Chain A
C-alpha cells in the first residue's frame, strides 16, 4: 500500500498554478525526499496533503483512503514552515496542547519521550519565544512525533539545525521508519543530508513532478567518474582526451567520466611523463544529479 498517492493535483493562487496536475506516489515506510527550487510547489503540495489548502482539482489518498478521512488524518504529523507554537507558552505547554489535541491518554510520558528524542529534556520549561531557531525546529519535530504518527510531513526540517542537530534528525528519521514503520515525506534544500537517508526521491519543477525514483534507481543512474590532480593539468587533459570520451576540468580537478579504471588512467599519464598527485573514484551525487536535471529546461 502507498502512504501517499496523488493524482492530477492542482492548486492555483490568483490564476497562477503553484501545483499543476501533480502525480506523486510515496510507498509506505519510505523516506521520500521531496526536492525542488524555491517556489516550485513543495510546500503547497504538503499543505494540500495536510488539508490546509483546498485543491482546485485532483485526488489525494493517504493509505488508500481520502485525505479528508478523519481516521487517517489524526495519524499525520506535520512540520510545515514553522512549528506552529504559542510563543508565550512554554515548550511543555505547547506539547501538552498537541497531546490533548491528539487525544493521548499518557500525555506526560509522551511529552518526555519526544523531548528525549529531540534532546530537549532540559528545556521543557522555557518559553517557546526564547528558543533558538534550531530549538524551535526540534520542538516542531517533537510535536509531529507525538502519539503514533503513520505519516510525517516535514518541510525543511533541517533548516537552522547545527551539525549535531542534523545528525540527530537523521537518526530520528531512520529510527522511526525502520523500527516504527512510519512514512516520512521530507523536503529540503540540503541535498547532501537528504541523500544520506532518503529511500525515494521526487523532483518537482513549476508545480509538476518531473521525476520520481528510488534510491536504488538514483544510484544506478548516477554516473561514475575518476577525479585526479596531476603535475601539469593542461597537458594531462589533452592526453586523456585522446583516450577517453568525456574529460572535463572542474573545481581544480580533472574529471574523467564513465570510467572507473584508475590504473588505465595512471599508466596513460605516466607513459606521457606526467605525474599523478591525487586520484580517486567518484560518483555523481544527488546534488549534481539534481543540478543537471534542472539545467535541462526541456524536462517538465
Chain B
C-alpha cells in the first residue's frame, strides 16, 4: 500500500542556499591539492622574480630598489616600461584565473554540476558561490605572495623602508580587487564550461592586463583606466591612500555585481549541462 505523505516545501533563504553551495565548494577546495599548489606557486613567484632581478655577481641589477616593489609598483603605471613595474602582487590575479578555470571546469567535466543545478533552482547561487570561493583563494595567494615577497627581500638584502600606511593600502587594495577578478573569471567559465583550456587562456590574457596595457599605450597613463579591474589593481600601489582603497572597493564590487548578473543571465538562458 502506497503512503501519500503530506509534503511541505520551505523556501530556503539566499543565506541558506549559499551555505549549501559554499559548503560544497570549500570542502572541495580544502580536500583537493589545487588550492595548496597555487598558494605555493604564489609564494615562490616573488623569490623567482627577485632572483631574476639579481645580477650574475649576486648583486641587485637595479630592477628593484626596495623590497616592497616585489609587492606593488611605486606609482600607478599602466604603460609598462620594464618588467619591474609589472612583476608584483598583480600576478596573483593570473594564478587566480587559472585556478578558478580548473575548479569550475572540473565541475562540468565530472558532471557534478548536474547535482548542483538539480538542487539549486536559483542560478545566482552558483555564480555568487564561485566568485566568493575565487576571491577567498586569491586572498590566500596574496598572503603567501606577501610572505614570499618579504622573505625574498630579506635574502636579496633590499631596503624595507616604506610609508607603512601606503603599503597597507596597496596590499588591502589588491586583496579587495580579488572579488572583482574572481567574478570575471567565474563569468568566463560559465561561458566555456568544460572547455577550460579556453577559459584558462582567456583568464590569463585578461589577468596579465594586456588589454589595459595596450589601451594605455594609446591613451597614455591616464587614471581613467582605473575603471577596469587591471587599472584599479595597478592603482593599489606603494603611493596608495584611503582614496585608492575606496576606488578599489567600488570598482571591485561594481564589477562583481555586473559579472554575477551577466553570469546568472547566461545560466538562466542557456542549457546548463
A contacts, CB < 8 Å to B? 28-30, 47, 50-54, 63, 65, 67-78, 80-89, 93, 96-98, 100-103, 143, 150, 177-181, 199
Indicate which residue in B2, B12, B115 contacts A98 across the interface (CB closer than 8 Å). B115
Check if B75 is an interface residue, CB within 8 A of chain A. Answer: no
B contacts, CB < 8 Å to A? 1-5, 7, 9-12, 16-17, 19-21, 23-24, 27-28, 31-32, 106, 110-122, 268-273
Contacts A54-B268, A63-B9 hold; do A82 and B27 have CB atoms under 8 A apart? no
Nearest first, the 10 closest Cβ-Cβ pairs linking A and B are A181-B5, A100-B23, A84-B111, A71-B9, A73-B121, A103-B20, A181-B3, A29-B2, A50-B118, A101-B24
Indicate which residue in B1, B106, B121, B269 contacts A51 across the interface (CB closer than 8 Å). B121
Q: Closest CB-CB distance, A114 to chain B, in whole Å?
A: 14
Contacts A53-B271, A82-B111, A84-B112 hold; do A70 and B118 have CB atoms under 8 A apart? no
Among A103, A178, A180, the one with the most B-chain Cβ atoms within 10 Å of its Cβ is A103
A101 contacts across to B, CB distance below 8 A: 20-21, 23-24, 115-116, 119-120
A68 contacts across to B, CB distance below 8 A: 121
B4 contacts across to A, CB distance below 8 A: 28-29, 181
A67 contacts across to B, CB distance below 8 A: 121
- Contact: B120 with A70, CB < 8 Å? yes
B16 contacts across to A, CB distance below 8 A: 103
How many angstroms from the CA of A102 to the CA of B24 in the assembled complex? Answer: 9
Q: Closest CB-CB distance, B187 to chain A, in whole Å?
A: 18
- Contact: B21 with A178, CB < 8 Å? no
Instruction: Determine the residue in chain A with the shortest Cβ distance to B269.
Output: A54
Indicate which residue in B7, B12, B106 contacts A70 across the interface (CB closer than 8 Å). B12
B106 contacts across to A, CB distance below 8 A: 86
How many angstroms from the CA of A87 to the CA of B273 in the assembled complex? Answer: 18
Instruction: Determine the residue in chain A with the shortest Cβ distance to B5.
Output: A181
Q: Closest CB-CB distance, B9 to chain A, in whole Å?
A: 4
Q: List 9 A-B contacts (CB under 8 A).
A: A29-B4, A50-B114, A50-B118, A67-B121, A74-B121, A75-B7, A81-B111, A86-B112, A103-B19
- Contact: A78 with B2, CB < 8 Å? no
Q: Closest CB-CB distance, A138 to chain B, in whole Å?
A: 16
Indicate which residue in B110, B119, B272 contacts A74 across the interface (CB closer than 8 Å). B119
User: Other than the known A73-B119, A86-B106, A98-B24, what 19 A-B pairs have Cβ atoms closer than 8 Å?
Assistant: A29-B5, A50-B118, A53-B273, A65-B9, A67-B121, A70-B120, A71-B11, A72-B9, A72-B121, A73-B118, A77-B118, A84-B112, A84-B115, A87-B110, A93-B31, A103-B16, A178-B1, A178-B2, A179-B3
How many angstroms from the CA of A85 to the CA of B115 in the assembled complex? Answer: 9
Q: Closest CB-CB distance, A66 to chain B, in whole Å?
A: 9
How many angstroms from the CA of A115 to the CA of B252 in the assembled complex? Answer: 44
Instruction: Determine the residue in chain A with the shortest Cβ distance to B123.
Output: A51
Instruction: Determine the residue in chain A with the shortest Cβ distance to B9.
Output: A71
Among A51, A76, A81, the one with the most B-chain Cβ atoms within 10 Å of its Cβ is A51
A54 contacts across to B, CB distance below 8 A: 268-271
Q: Closest CB-CB distance, B133 to chain A, in whole Å?
A: 13
How many angstroms from the CA of A153 to the CA of B180 in the assembled complex? Answer: 37
Q: Closest CB-CB distance, A144 to chain B, in whole Å?
A: 9
Contacts A89-B32, A177-B2 hold; do A74 and B12 have CB atoms under 8 A apart? yes
Instruction: Determine the residue in chain A with the shortest Cβ distance to B19.
Output: A103
Q: Closest CB-CB distance, B137 to chain A, in whole Å?
A: 17
Contacts A178-B2, A181-B4 hold; do A70 and B11 have CB atoms under 8 A apart? yes
How many angstroms from the CA of A71 to the CA of B17 in the assembled complex? Answer: 10
Contacts A85-B112, A89-B32 hold; do A100 and B24 have CB atoms under 8 A apart? yes
B111 contacts across to A, CB distance below 8 A: 81-85
B115 contacts across to A, CB distance below 8 A: 78, 84, 98, 101, 143
- Contact: A86 with B120, CB < 8 Å? no
Q: Closest CB-CB distance, A243 to chain B, in whole Å?
A: 43
B110 contacts across to A, CB distance below 8 A: 84-87
A63 contacts across to B, CB distance below 8 A: 7, 9
A143 contacts across to B, CB distance below 8 A: 115
A179 contacts across to B, CB distance below 8 A: 3
Among B11, B114, B120, the one with the most A-chain Cβ atoms within 10 Å of its Cβ is B114
Q: Closest CB-CB distance, B72 to chain A, in whole Å?
A: 37
Instruction: Determine the residue in chain B with the shortest Cβ distance to A94.
Output: B112
How many angstroms from the CA of A26 to the CA of B106 in the assembled complex? Answer: 34
A82 contacts across to B, CB distance below 8 A: 111
Among B3, B17, B121, the one with the most A-chain Cβ atoms within 10 Å of its Cβ is B121
Contacts A63-B7, A177-B2 hold; do A52 and B114 have CB atoms under 8 A apart? yes
B1 contacts across to A, CB distance below 8 A: 178
B31 contacts across to A, CB distance below 8 A: 89, 93
How many angstroms from the CA of A29 to the CA of B3 in the assembled complex? Answer: 7
Instruction: Determine the residue in chain A with the shortest Cβ distance to B11.
Output: A71
Indicate which residue in B2, B27, B117 contacts A97 across the interface (CB closer than 8 Å). B27
